[in-house]
Amino acid sequence: MQSLYIICGVPGSGKTWVCTQLQNRFAYIKHDDYVNNRIGFIQALVHALETSEIPVVTECPFKISEVTEGLTTLNIKPILYLINESEDTISNRYRTRENKIIPKQHLTNAKRYAEDKNRWAFIGTSEEVLNKLSEV
């Protein structure tokens, strides 16, 4: 079974960008294809892990505990990477994509998750996460 790398971060942090940059080296399971189907998302990840010849990567919102708990029951331990960009970078990306101001709660969550350093295999900007995963 292949390794599973989950890229986490607030909206606008660069999760999808990192994953699309890695598509030639990783099997990419797009979380957005399963937004309202957590079970289907976990099933797609498991299928990719069982059948892929290369590592699997996905992006995941901060409700990651729901996903990791589902994987843990299947004895799958994902490797978690956190994208931690500046508030200005995240705010600008979010405003460009969504055409509105990012909710303050997202920025608060970003700080809180970055403080939990033991949870993550690596924490860095989207560029740093991409570079780190390019070494896999």
CATH of the domain at 51: 3.40.50.300
Helix axes 38-51, 64-72, angle to 10 degrees: 50
Tell me which residue range forms the domain holding 96: 4-134
pLDDT score for 73:
80
What is the torsional sign of CA 99, 13, 8, 32? Answer: positive
pLDDT digits (tens, 9 = 90+) for 101-123: 999 999 998 999 899 899 899 99
User: Looking at residues 2-17, what average pLDDT do you find?
Assistant: 94
pLDDT score for 72:
81
Around Cβ 6, how many Cβ atoms within 10 Å?
24
Answer whether 125's CB lies under 8 Å from 131's CB. Answer: no
pLDDT score for 115:
93
pLDDT score for 74:
84
pLDDT digits (tens, 9 = 90+) for 30-82: 998 988 888 899 999 999 999 999 999 999 876 677 788 778 888 888 999 99
Q: How many domains does the chain have?
A: 1
* Helical segments of the chain, H only: 15-21, 38-51, 64-72, 87-98, 104-115, 126-134
Cα-atom radius of gyration of the chain, to the nearest Å? Answer: 14
pLDDT score for 30:
94
pLDDT score for 19:
97
